[in-house]
Chain A
């Protein structure tokens, strides 16, 4: 019996964001936008969804006079990502 893939992670942009945040200590909004090659509006919506689920922590501050949004993965996010990858492995091995 296959475990269901986490629908929150099983989406292109959210999965890309989580894969990126798994490897870095933290990342600024502009860096994530640049690496994932998406629009600011779309990224903002997806970050809100991940943050609401407790998968990422979003910190808003200022760098000089410019607003700065920094994201980092939470323990819950790490667990969700690991579970997602393990389920993905099951799908691939049993194909």
Chain B
């Protein structure tokens, strides 16, 4: 950037504003790692649970213990990201609070699972539709919007299909909702 205060043309002014907007708009797109991490963890947990259900294992839900290291890894990645990217845009802030609220809702649902007769799979899938779709709207990324719709459809189908098939629908939903958009975001970022 030039050190002097030389007069600008309107074209140059517009170019400066556009350039600065472009420099900050990539922040949320850097979040592909979280979609890939949680997509893989939840897909793996759902597929393992399905296998254990088919094997008539008495406590198939034990596989969900895998989310504990995933949470720890998420906290570490968020801390590292914060140190590296200190500037937070207004949209970054909205996005962060939205996913934080989502985490609190999921935690509450799991804690009070008995109150909903442990019909957690369809409810969690339906709730997941909201932040996924809105993240897609915020960064104008269609695969995440499609992913959000997929969560909603799989959530509704889970109510209809019932227990043994619910983990499979969960795995399908996170594959379309998190893993595929995560891969596409990564490709787009590197392009």
Contact = CB atoms under 8 A, between A and B. Distances in A.
A42 B96 CA distance: 34
Interface residues of B, number: 25
Interface residues of A, number: 28
Given A11-B5, A15-B8, A36-B1, A25 B16 contact: no
Contact of B17 (A13, A15, A27, A28): A15
A80 interface: no
A20 B26 CA distance: 13
A5 B17 CA distance: 15
Given A16-B20, A28-B86, A92 B14 contact: yes
B3 A38 contact: yes
B6 interface: yes
A19 B1 contact: no
Contacts of B10: 88, 91-92, 95
Given A16-B1, A27-B87, A42-B3, A35 B23 contact: yes
B7 interface: yes
Given A15-B8, A24-B24, A28-B86, A85 B17 contact: yes
B116 interface: no
Nearest to A21: B20
B2 interface: yes
A29 to B, nearest CB: 11
Contact of B12 (A12, A24, A25, A95): A12
A23 B8 contact: no
B90 A20 contact: no
A25 B85 CA distance: 13
B140 to A, nearest CB: 15
A19 B14 contact: no
Nearest to A42: B3
Interface of B: 1-3, 5-8, 10, 12-14, 16-17, 19-21, 23-25, 86-90, 93
Given A12-B12, A13-B5, A31-B87, 6 more contacts: A11-B8, A16-B19, A19-B21, A24-B24, A24-B87, A37-B1
